[in-house]
Amino acid sequence: MNRISMQDTYVLIMAGGVGSRFWPKSRNNFPKQFIDILGIGKSLLQLTHERFQKICPQENIFILSNEQYSGLVAEQLPGLPRENIIAEPSRNNTAPCIAYASFKISQLNPLAKIVVAPSDHLILNETVFLKKIQQALSYVGDNDALVTLGITPTRPDTGYGYINYNKEENEGVHQVLKFLEKPNLERAKEFVASGDYLWNAGIFVWSVGSILTALAKYSPAIFGLFEKGKTCYNTSDEKAFILENYPLSDNISIDYAIMEKAENVYTIPGEFGWSDLGTWASLYEVVDKDEHNNVFSGHTINLSDTTNCMIQIPKDKVAVIKGLDNFIVVDDGKVLLIYPKANEQEIKEVSKKIVALCGDDFA
């Protein structure tokens, strides 16, 4: 098995999302990847960046984000070279930004092996996670393969996409048979019971040659658009080319553009305490709770007859709460949200109504 050098390893951290399900804490101007959502003094982006410094030098880590957030990225990661912040001038989903970054990295190092990962996921068992990443890097060093890390499901969750995979393995790597969209509960139960399915975590590993070949074959319009600029990348002409051409790219995810079409897609199953932290309830599940199953982040609180609640208040506020069970309570200083945890899927739509009623300051 090929050992990949740290110098040939590159990481693309996707940090352009708006995190609308964490409203009101997560807003358009300060989304969840920049928030200390775990209450430990570091944002999810900072934790992700630290994690990947263990597999490659900092100059090989690139942050893909919307230009709206490039200042926030620079502020939170002061040691990151400024040119490693890839600022997208428009929101066109993940395929165009991965294509752009891949051409850019190919010019720097045609032997590059690339890890693509979200900035806002939680990894509780970092040692196991990094071992799986190294395993994937070694595999794509030897094979023309697009590898995705699959999460062994712990419950029939309807909030994740699933990967149907072949149980036969080669060096712990399995062929992907099919990607499936978020199922209903009945199908999710069938997936978990069969043992033939994994959660799709959106964490990918491939060589720069393999991803560019796949783009050329399965997404020629995106490939052709960014190939036009190959003499511009990593030069003073890059910015002007991207400003003009990036908004012309198709608005499509890497899953639809490549992963669901390609035949050389493989998965490495893993259990490393993963959560996409997609909702308040998913955060509640993974953080420490008090003796009444409450999760609290803030300064001072007076709780009585209150159980199973997720409570976040500003450091300078005192909360007095009585008689709540299974609620989300979030005060970001401008918006106070008190909502049943069981109905949290409604929060995204509620936030849209508030913005329509009260203005963009609340988006």
The structural domains of the chain, ordered by start, are 6-275 (3.90.550.10), 280-362 (no CATH)
pLDDT for residue 8 = 95
11 Rama class: left (phi>0) / alpha (psi -120 to 50) / beta: beta
Q: Cα 22 from chain centroid?
A: 14
Cα–Cα nearest to 282, from 188, 154, 162: 154
Task: Please give the angle made by the CA atoms of 32, 37 and 40, to the nearest 5 degrees.
Answer: 140
The whole-model pTM stands at: 0.91
* DSSP character at residue 3: P
Distance CA 47, CA 247 (A): 30
> What token pair was written down for 323?
């008689």
pLDDT for residue 1 = 43
How many other C-beta atoms can be found within 10 angstroms of the C-beta atom of residue 229?
20
For 72, phi then psi, to 5°, come to: -65, -40
- Radius of gyration (C-alpha) of the chain in whole angstroms: 21
Residue the block writes with tokens 């570091």: 42
Distance CA 318, CA 261 (A): 53
pLDDT for residue 2 = 52
> What token pair was written down for 53?
């410094």
CB 222 within 8 A of CB 250: yes
CB 97 within 8 A of CB 86: yes
Angle of helix 44-52 relative to helix 126-142, nearest 10 degrees, comes to 50
Sequence-ordered list of residues with C-beta below 8 angstroms from that of 58, at least 6 positions apart, any chain: 79, 80, 81
Q: What is the largest CA-CA distance in the chain?
A: 65
Q: How far does the chain reach from its first CA to its final CA, in angstroms?
A: 49
> What token pair was written down for 94?
């993940």
What is the Cβ-side half-sphere exposure of residue 182, based on CA atoms within 13 angstroms? 5
pLDDT tens track of the chain, all 363 residues? 455 688 999 999 999 888 777 888 888 888 999 998 887 889 999 999 999 999 999 999 999 999 999 999 999 999 999 999 999 999 999 999 999 999 999 999 999 999 999 999 999 999 999 999 999 999 999 999 999 999 999 888 888 899 999 989 888 999 999 999 889 999 999 999 999 999 999 999 999 999 999 999 999 999 999 999 999 999 999 999 999 999 999 999 999 999 999 999 999 999 998 988 888 888 888 888 999 999 988 776 788 999 999 998 888 888 899 999 999 999 988 899 999 998 988 888 999 999 999 988 887
**CA of 204: how far to CAs of 113, 275, 326, in Å?**
11, 16, 36
